[in-house]
Structure 1
Amino acid sequence: MLHVKDLRLGFAAGQRTLLAVDGISFTIERGETFALLGESGCGKSATAQALMRLLPPAGRIVGGSVSLDGEDLLVLPEAAMRGWRGRRMAMIFQEPATSLNPVLTVGRQIGEVLERHRGLRGAAARERMLDLLRQVGIADPERRLDEYPFQLSGGMKQRVMIAIALAGEPELLIADEPTTALDVTVQAQILDLLARLQVDRGMGMLLITHDLGVVARMAQRIGVMYAGELVEVASREDFFTTPRHPYTQALFAALPEVSRRGTALATIPGQVPALAAMPAGCRFAERCPQVMPVCRERSPEWREVAPGHALRCHWQGAASVLEKAADLTVDRQIEEKTGLLTVDGLKVHFPIRQGILQRTVGHVFAVDGVSLAIAPGRTLALVGESGCGKTTVGKALLQLIRPSAGSVRLGGRELVGAGARELRAARRQAQMVFQDPFASLNPRLRVGEIIAEGITALGVGGDATATVAALLRQVGLPTDAGERFPHEFSGGQRQRIAIARALAVQPQLLVCDEPTSALDVSVQAQILNLLKTLQAELGVAYLFITHNFAVVEYLAHDIAVMYLGRIVEQGRAEEVLGRPRHPYTQALLSAVPVPRLDGAGQRIHLPGETPSPAKPPAGCHFHPRCPQATALCRERYPAPTAVSPTHTVNCHLAA
């Protein structure tokens, strides 16, 4: 169905065109999923944009052809391409926040596709919109249709993008990191939906992702991209059993999992070469553990190692680097202590206002009675679906959002209701690393000024210049990085800067909100190694908010599972992961995609959708979706039950 041949594209830089994609070729059959893997900066998204003819103004297609059902898309006039986009081919963009129109409602944006490509208007269009929102797992779709993108969480915006892409019933779907911002249950729901649509419509899919678990579940064939070139193409079976290119093997070695707990993850040294400085030989040579002299002199040719399995590599060895994970132990025995952070009955209720006088007509129960504790030097992972209140908990702990009720004691000091001066002192002890480092770093300040800002504001003693230089070295950045601006760094480097800024005031607690969600596996491994090392050296504690269970397995000492504003299960990591007792925790773990062919167990399908926090169900909040619910569950919220001295669960069936 899709035939890409020798595609070459670049970006204008003065009088030059710097090639970002240099001669890649692949095909996608009807009903097939072809996955593109690789680090940030390898050219995956540029390839997807070129197929849709949506390159930015500086983008140039230099050569090659892209044929869909025999029609060469690169020679079509722009007016004709509008008929193909949305109807014949559609794209789910990586950044929903920048891809959705901020001044149009969700319904208007979905309706635009239905009107142009399906001829639907009025009540029929609205009914189809509601159906699409239900399919992608959005609760209360009638209300969401009339809302604007800024009123939605990151995961909800991503689901709206998917609904828009599916509205035209395309033959080819290009999905650029479609599930990055989604929690595991919604991710599983979306992947099931896409797989079902493929079967029903024979839809082909180009899947761009860095999640090898998603690849194992969805793709029939995989292409690995590095520095603008494809370096390995294989079937799903060959890719997961016998990866042959050193770069592919290094990606597998960087995966966090429970077996690597307590050791440093293997990382890939260096970075993807810049467009203006592409090496003459193999582009991976400077980072490759198997490099030979010929690699730096001549670019390797394609060679087939098995039917359907080809790679570009001079190295002929078959020994895998998968077992070469670093054996540097960075974990340490944490002395059992209590009392760094104690949270009791924390509530955050947002008023719902209507009318000219903005009267309060209800509340959104974002956080509704959360209790937890973190000891010094330990990591508590807070997990749960998007919209359950995890980020609100993190912000409320630091009083960035004022709680409605409850107690937050940090080092014995009560923060709820504290004045500005007391909070100022408390912020020496606790800092936050936000989910999006680009949005949380001031673009007008140099990196050195960003890191030094907290030192100056909170009156931390010492030479600020020397402290900034030491922090940059500590997070693995050169000291001259302090003279540059945030936009000059990659996503992983910006996250390191955000961590350095948080560490500048020597806190005892870091609240990390999805710090690795948007990073590819090699950069994620670097950040996780950094956090492990800092914890071992400085004894800092982490509240780690995430939906990535591989990261939880590797990093967390304790786990708290959250559903609709409340903690439903918490305990030590080995207890919650190994013996989950709440039906919701069991469903979450069953939905985690595993990067192995034999990794998928029996998945627990949850019926219905997550209820709106503005209208939580009576009794146990989970009972409308629970396969084991009883009459008691519908009447009364369960009290916490201790199943061990360190493991509690809020479930009537726990006994």
Structure 2
Amino acid sequence: MTMTVPLLEIQDLRVHFNAAGRALRAVDGVSLTVAPGETVALVGESGCGKSVTALSVMRLLPPAARIVGGSVRLDGTELMGLPEVAMRRVRGARVAMIFQEPMTSLNPVLTIGQQIAEPLVRHKGLSGAALSARVQSLLEAVNLPDPARIMRAYPHQLSGGMKQRAMMAMAVACEPRLLIADEPTTALDVTIQAQVLALMRDLQRTTGMGLLFITHDLGVVAQMADRVAVMYAGEVVESAPREAFFRAPRHPYTRKLFASLPGRSRRGEPLAMIPGMVPTLDRPRVGCRFATRCEFAWDRCRAETPAWVEAGGHGVRCHLGLAGPAAQQAAASAPTVQTAAPPSAEARPLLTVRDLKVHFPIRRGVFQRTVGYVRAVDGVSLDIASGRTLALVGESGCGKTTVGKGILQLVPVTGGSVSFEGRELMGLHGAVLRRLRSRFQIVFQDPFSSLNPRMTVADILEEGMLALGVGANAAARQGEVDRLLAAVGLPADAKLRYPHEFSGGQRQRIAIARALAVQPRLIVCDEPTSALDVSVQAQILNLLLDLQQRLGLSYLFITHNLAVVEFMAQEVAVMYLGRIVEKGAVDRVLVAPAHPYTQALLSAVPTLEPTGRTVIRLAGEPPSPARPPQGCHFHPRCPQAMPVCRERYPEQREVDGRKVACHLYP
């Protein structure tokens, strides 16, 4: 794309945070441009400075941050010198931002209509009927059903995808020249993500706005971006047009990111990992910032800061330069951990679940009478053999996590059977159930909220041992703590520290060590990598596979990341509204899905090669489990629905080696 005058031009931007008298160099010399109608993707690990760069453009930095140098120009206007009064005229009118978490960005005490109307009143002077009509048209433009009702609704009354679309309506209300989207789809299911991304492209085509898209999902980058800029430790280390970026990434850090991505092609072998940690931000950098983690670093890398080298629009900050033949070998390198072949499918089930139901009562009135039930899990059956991994996938709210908690008897179960090692768990309580808990454990999605912040790591790991009688004495338990930390790749002195002193990936390792402390045979992994960067995700997935090989563990792996499913699991079950609609071997279900919902789910997954794919866009939102549709639960959104689908729920049938609940297969 030929650029004359950039819409957004950032030159040598530097932002420091004041932390206990130290200056943390969060952004340290970033330069990039966005042209009208162009989408520039800004990618990199958490903490590299992507969001701080975006907030600097908006002049919305927190009090502890200050811009110490550089220039930010929008349509030729320098924003750094504008007083706050003038900046308020820019925000919303000429540049707008969509934040990562809409629930914390939307005002909970104002209706959606009031919040969308605010920029229209301030910048356009609309009022009365004209204002209401414009708000309703914006809600229609972002494909929200029943706009008149949504205008009167509060944020907590909308789903995650609906809230994100409402934020998009607010951001584009005044037709800004530049839209900044900070991880706008990270918390969304792939089907809703596909809708939001398609909507964003449509709005961009209609208005001609420039888009600065911040993400760590390279599949989304391949689908959305015209150009890509990679950040590391506060600076841009590579920038290129999308095709060149995916065809031949040049920087060793970028190539390691690609090599860290899970998928079917990497099954049976460990993922490449980036050793070490991002350098600290509290002192001036000497040499290349990636040198301590780069296997191709030499003396010059540690002593001399690499210059920016660019040719044909592809730039890189590396002493290997644009050719970088050695850097191209980085993707091939991988840890020496070996994974074992999974046991045969005929292995005896370790866990057998039949017709599991978990219904939560809906109570109303002064006397809290039960007026209905939320059918979170409504008849789930599955088996997991020893040493195998079953992945459970589906949209948020379909009941995946409740299945895991129901199996472990962490929530009251309404009906069905759960047999573990041949013993029925239903009906067990108190000390009898407690003695069995050492055999099955859970790793939660957010390790920070699931680890007690007032306990040291040693206390966290020892707590389960004390409760379940593992370890003969205190000395034996402390020895086991040291062994567990070594098993998950943490130093022995980590046991004396508290959870807040660790990174997200390290906290997840602690959570895995806690689960292993009582020597389980089955671990329920509930989205254990969803909050992690791809490089840290690779470390956790390698760790889980290595532990499975050495200890013979079985996993129920709950996730919405189908690339992780292809890498980790031998079998997969697809859930929709409390029931399993398709179940079978990963190589069958994910290669040739049979159920229309599975087909739509797979079509919506962003890939590194998005061309030639047809995304199946599902109508509407998933229905409420408190009021499931009559007949097949999927029929209101199914593009292949038939009259029989509205009349009765389909039975599970054997179709080409997998089980499918669909009337398309009589």
Q: Deviation string for 1:165-216 (max 9, x for gaps)? A: 4555443222222212222111111110111111111122211111110000
Shift of 1:560: 0.3
Other-structure match for 1:230: 236
Deviates more, 1:435-444 or 1:218-227: 435-444
Q: Is the 8 A contact 1:138 1:609 kept in 2?
A: no
State whether structure 2 residue 325 is matched by structure 1 residue 318.
yes
Distance change in 2, residues 1:417/1:104 (3 Å)? farther
Shift of 1:466: 1.7
Other-structure match for 2:529: 516
Given candidates 525, 531, 538, the residue that maps to 2:544 is 531
Aligned residues: 651
Q: Deviation string for 1:464-502 (max 9, x for gaps)? A: 222222211111111212222222222111111111112
SS at match of 2:538: helix
Q: Deviation string for 1:365-389 (max 9, x for gaps)? A: 2221111111111111111112211
The whole-number CA distance in structure 2 between the counterparts of 1:359 and 1:115 is 45
Q: Which runs of 5+ in 2 are unaligned?
A: 1-6
Q: Is the 8 A contact 1:87 1:168 kept in 2?
A: yes
Q: Matches of residues 152-171 of structure 1 in structure 2 within 5 Å?
A: 161-162=167-168, 164-166=170-172, 169-171=175-177
Given candidates 24, 33, 42, the residue that maps to 1:27 is 33
SS at match of 2:342: coil
Distance change in 2, residues 1:426/1:31 (3 Å)? farther
Given candidates 76, 86, 91, the residue that maps to 2:97 is 91
Other-structure match for 2:220: 214
Q: Is the 8 A contact 1:162 1:178 kept in 2?
A: no
Amino acid at match of 1:318: P
The whole-number CA distance in structure 1 between the counterparts of 2:362 and 2:59 is 43
The whole-number CA distance in structure 2 between the counterparts of 1:506 and 1:141 is 55
Given candidates 586, 611, 618, the residue that maps to 1:606 is 618
Shift of 1:217: 0.3
Deviates more, 1:334-343 or 1:134-143: 134-143
Distance change in 2, residues 1:60/1:535 (3 Å)? same
Distance change in 2, residues 1:134/1:307 (3 Å)? closer
State whether structure 2 residue 659 is matched by structure 1 residue 648.
yes
Distance change in 2, residues 1:421/1:546 (3 Å)? same
Other-structure match for 2:370: 360
Distance change in 2, residues 1:597/1:572 (3 Å)? closer
Given candidates 375, 381, 384, the residue that maps to 1:371 is 381
Other-structure match for 1:498: 511
Q: Matches of residues 366-405 of structure 1 in structure 2 within 5 Å?
A: 366-405=376-415
Q: Is the 8 A contact 2:451 2:499 kept in 1?
A: yes
SS at match of 1:578: coil
SS at match of 1:191: helix
Other-structure match for 2:282: 276
Other-structure match for 1:637: 649
State whether structure 2 residue 513 is matched by structure 1 residue 507.
no
The whole-number CA distance in structure 2 between the counterparts of 1:69 and 1:39 is 29
Shift of 1:108: 5.8
Other-structure match for 2:577: 564
Q: Is the 8 A contact 1:114 1:121 kept in 2?
A: no
Shift of 1:278: 5.3
Given candidates 477, 482, 486, the residue that maps to 1:464 is 477
Q: Is the 8 A contact 2:354 2:418 kept in 1?
A: yes
The whole-number CA distance in structure 2 between the counterparts of 1:266 and 1:293 is 24
The RMSD of aligned alpha carbons is: 2.7
Shift of 1:156: 6.4
Shift of 1:135: 3.6
Q: Is the 8 A contact 1:513 1:545 kept in 2?
A: yes
Other-structure match for 2:630: 618
The whole-number CA distance in structure 2 between the counterparts of 1:402 and 1:130 is 45
The whole-number CA distance in structure 1 between the counterparts of 2:205 and 2:429 is 59
SS at match of 1:472: helix
Q: Is the 8 A contact 1:496 1:527 kept in 2?
A: yes
Other-structure match for 1:483: 496
The whole-number CA distance in structure 2 between the counterparts of 1:503 and 1:602 is 43
SS at match of 1:516: coil
Shift of 1:113: 5.2
Q: Is the 8 A contact 1:343 1:373 kept in 2?
A: yes
Amino acid at match of 1:83: R
Distance change in 2, residues 1:159/1:367 (3 Å)? farther
Q: Matches of residues 283-362 of structure 1 in structure 2 within 5 Å?
A: 283-304=289-310, 306-316=311-321, 317-319=324-326, 320=328, 321-326=330-335, 328-335=337-344, 336-362=346-372
Distance change in 2, residues 1:524/1:345 (3 Å)? same
Deviates more, 1:133-142 or 1:506-515: 133-142
Structure 1 vs Structure 2: percent identity of aligned residues? 61
Distance change in 2, residues 1:13/1:371 (3 Å)? same
TM-score, normalising length from structure 1?
0.93
SS at match of 2:403: helix
Distance change in 2, residues 1:217/1:181 (3 Å)? same
Distance change in 2, residues 1:328/1:489 (3 Å)? closer
Q: Deviation string for 1:286-311 (max 9, x for gaps)? A: 1112212211111011111x311111
Other-structure match for 1:43: 49
Distance change in 2, residues 1:71/1:363 (3 Å)? farther
Shift of 1:97: 5.2
Shift of 1:130: 9.9
Other-structure match for 1:260: 266
TM-score, normalising length from structure 2?
0.91
Q: Which runs of 5+ in 1 are unaligned?
A: none
Distance change in 2, residues 1:108/1:347 (3 Å)? farther
The whole-number CA distance in structure 2 between the counterparts of 1:263 and 1:139 is 49
Amino acid at match of 2:230: V
Q: Is the 8 A contact 1:446 1:486 kept in 2?
A: yes
SS at match of 2:279: coil
Distance change in 2, residues 1:576/1:309 (3 Å)? same
Distance change in 2, residues 1:365/1:597 (3 Å)? closer
Q: Matches of residues 434-473 of structure 1 in structure 2 within 5 Å?
A: 434-462=444-472, 463-473=476-486
Q: Is the 8 A contact 1:561 1:570 kept in 2?
A: yes
Q: Is the 8 A contact 1:133 1:160 kept in 2?
A: no
Given candidates 15, 19, 24, the residue that maps to 1:13 is 19
SS at match of 1:66: strand
Shift of 1:636: 1.3
Distance change in 2, residues 1:71/1:123 (3 Å)? closer
The whole-number CA distance in structure 1 between the counterparts of 2:56 and 2:251 is 26
Deviates more, 1:417-426 or 1:184-193: 417-426
